[in-house]
Amino acid sequence: MCFRPASALGMSCGTVTIDPRRAMVLVIWNNRLKLYQLPKGRRNLDESMLAAALRETYEETGLHVTPLQLDVATRATPPKTALSDTSKKPPNITEGHPSHEFVGACIYPDPQSETEALKCVYFFAATAECTDIPDSGTQEEWEKLDARWIPLREVSKTLRFEAEIQVVMKAVQDMKKSGYTIEA
């Protein structure tokens, strides 16, 4: 176990937004860093992680996306129901309970922090249609981002970070496990 104060931890949230009918994924081209990445950003005080992910995706892309309720294998405690057996400890891994749980997280030293900090980005699965017209003027003035849709088959050669490629593949896997069909 190790301790880090809140000032040394950055919590960010983002989405893996997929258009399943067209097998496309929403990414952003970061003009400042010259790379493709998933939409994400810092959580505001008292904001839920899912709300932060949806807000950041909207701010960075101009698109309103819809969170997906998926059967994600998670360490979250399953919900109590009238049929719950409370005589046993809950399982380590909870499955079979569709929810808006995050599909995975990317953890790394924060390269943009002026002090030593560890960044943890929680990603949620979402959907939108790649033909939707984005709103304009949603980014901060200093952001230089362009939203783009890319074919799922090109994710591994387009996204810069392996961890983000892995989170896209995990979201696709969870979508299929939850009954979504993703056209090829």
Cβ within 8 Å of residue 150, ≥6 positions away: 24, 25, 27, 36, 158
How sure is the predictor about 87, in pLDDT bands with cuts at 50, 70 and 90?
low
Query: Helix (H, G, I), strand (E, B), or coil: what is residue 110?
Result: coil
Is pLDDT larger for residue 97 or for residue 158? Answer: 158
Sign of CA dihedral 134, 144, 162, 105: negative
Q: What would the two tokens of residue 166 be?
A: 């892995």
State phi, psi for 139 to the nearest 5 degrees.
-85, 155
How sure is the predictor about 111, in pLDDT bands with cuts at 50, 70 and 90?
confident
pLDDT score of 184: 67
How sure is the predictor about 60, in pLDDT bands with cuts at 50, 70 and 90?
very high
* Burial category of 105 from C-beta neighbours within 10 Å (exposed 0-12, middle 13-18, buried 19 and up): middle
Using the predicted structure, report yes or no on whether residue 89 has a pLDDT greater than 90.
no
Cβ within 8 Å of residue 17, ≥6 positions away: 25, 26, 39, 57, 61, 63, 65, 126, 127, 128
* Half-sphere exposure at residue 80, Cβ-oriented, CA atoms within 13 angstroms: 4
pLDDT score of 83: 58
Using the predicted structure, report yes or no on whether residue 139 has a pLDDT greater than 80.
yes
What's the mean pLDDT in 102-118?
91
State phi, psi for 8 to the nearest 5 degrees.
-105, 10
Count other Cβ atoms within 10 Å, centred on residue 92. 6
How many Å from the N-terminal Cα to the C-terminal Cα in the chain?
44
Q: Rounded to two decimals, what is the model's pTM?
A: 0.92
User: Is residue 16 a contact partner of residue 53, using CB atoms and an 8 Å limit?
Assistant: no
pLDDT score of 59: 97
Is pLDDT larger for residue 97 or for residue 163? Answer: 163
What's the mean pLDDT in 116-131?
96
What percent of the chain stands above pLDDT 90?
77
Alpha carbon distance 149, 6 (integer Å): 35
pLDDT score of 112: 82
Mean pLDDT check: name the lowest of 13-27, 42-56, 136-150, 169-183: 136-150
Domains and CATH numbers, the chain: 8-78+91-177 (3.90.79.10)
Mean pLDDT check: name the lowest of 12-16, 99-103, 136-140: 136-140
Mean pLDDT for the chain?
92
Q: What would the two tokens of residue 150 be?
A: 């890319």
What's the mean pLDDT in 11-40?
96
